[in-house]
Amino acid sequence: MHTANEIYKTVEKQPSHVFDMVSAMDHEQVMFFNDAETGLKGIIGVHNTVLGPSLGGCRIWNYENESEALWDVLRLSRGMTFKSAISGINLGGGKAVIIGNPKVKRDEAFWRRFGKFVDSLNGKYITAEDVGTSIEVMSIVMQETKHVTGKPISAGGAGDPSPFTAYGVFLGIKASIKQWTGSDDMTGKTVAVQGVGSVGFYLVGHLCKAGAKVLVTDINEANLARVVSHHPVTVIDPSEIYSVAADVYAPCALGASVNSETIPHLKCAIIAGAANNQLANEPLHGQMLLDRDIIYAPDFLINAGGVINCYREIHSLSETETMHLIDNIYDRSLAIFAKSIAEKIPTQEAAISMAMERIDEAKKH
């Protein structure tokens, strides 16, 4: 595996050729799958299995082209490697993306075919829910493969991982507040949450309970209606989310929202949210945040609660053991902030370095 600095630099821009893209982030395996009968088409990326089998959700998205889909699965699976490593669990990083097609009926046959493709990897990749999928979908997939997690409780699983992801993000926000102010008291702090779907909704609940003033936005009106009916929040237009005055910007939708266009408009002291791959360009935008003294809580660190809950399902951990692993997000966040300051490097680079230390140590045994 490349050094932390080498990996950090490789994502500065997207390569144009398939093998350049795959080798840029040191992936072990990439599988393209296609089924003419169901219309299923997608990619599974296996980034690293040093610590254990790769795990990552299955995402459906309307990609502009296959190259965009490949780049997405590569970045997401890489992030899963670091997420598991830094969380202290014995899993590697993987991900699946399915190319959205409105003409395709995503019925039982569709998902069972996906399950067969997952099963063909013989346990090297374990799938789970993600954007566009659900625990109900996983209950169909599991009919074709045992290499699936995030299953319904009724099917012997640990249920929806979203509440656990949200709790971990909340801990990351509290740690960031402590780093900024010296206290993790959330009373009166303003948090702007972008995306109030499954994870964002639960996160808002934690924030409101802690006494924060919460601003929310979402392009899905049903998501907004749900959160407004349950919590005392203020709805803002999606176009305002980057320039609104807030202590914390919490991106909980899709990635790459922290970029060269948005960073100059930010009026926050902290960025901490649930979305994966929040930095569009890791080295450039991580440094831009550092230069502006904006505290960035690395996404793969603080949104690890969901994968930890999936790990619980795989290894039959108790709820106490699971919550202990998630609670560690708070202290690890503070450790990353300290490393960033001591070494004068962006927090994302500090977190990747810490994750890689565990992977490299495992290689010795």
| Active site amino acids | 95
Cβ pair 258, 271 in contact under 8 A = yes
Q: How far is CA 164 from CA 197, 201, 329, 359, in A?
A: 14, 12, 12, 24
Q: How far apart are CA 35 and CA 52, in angstroms?
A: 29
Q: If we measure between CA atoms, which residue out of 126, 109, 110 comes closest to residue 118? A: 126
Residues in the chain, how many?
365
Going by C-alpha positions, the residue among 92, 91, 99 that lies closest to residue 70 is 99
Helix (H, G, I), strand (E, B) or coil at 243: coil
- Chain-centroid distance of CA 300 in Å reads 6
Burial 58-96 (b: 16+ CB within 10 A, else e): bbbbebeeeeebbbbbbbbbbbbbbbbbbbebebbbbbb
Instruction: Reduce the DSSP state of residue 204 to 3 states and report it.
Output: helix
Task: Measure the CA–CA gap between 9 and 25, rounded to whole angstroms.
Answer: 10
Can you state the angle between helices 319-343 and 162-181, rounded to 10 degrees?
40
For residues 138 and 293, give the distance between their C-alpha atoms in angstroms, rounded to a whole number.
42
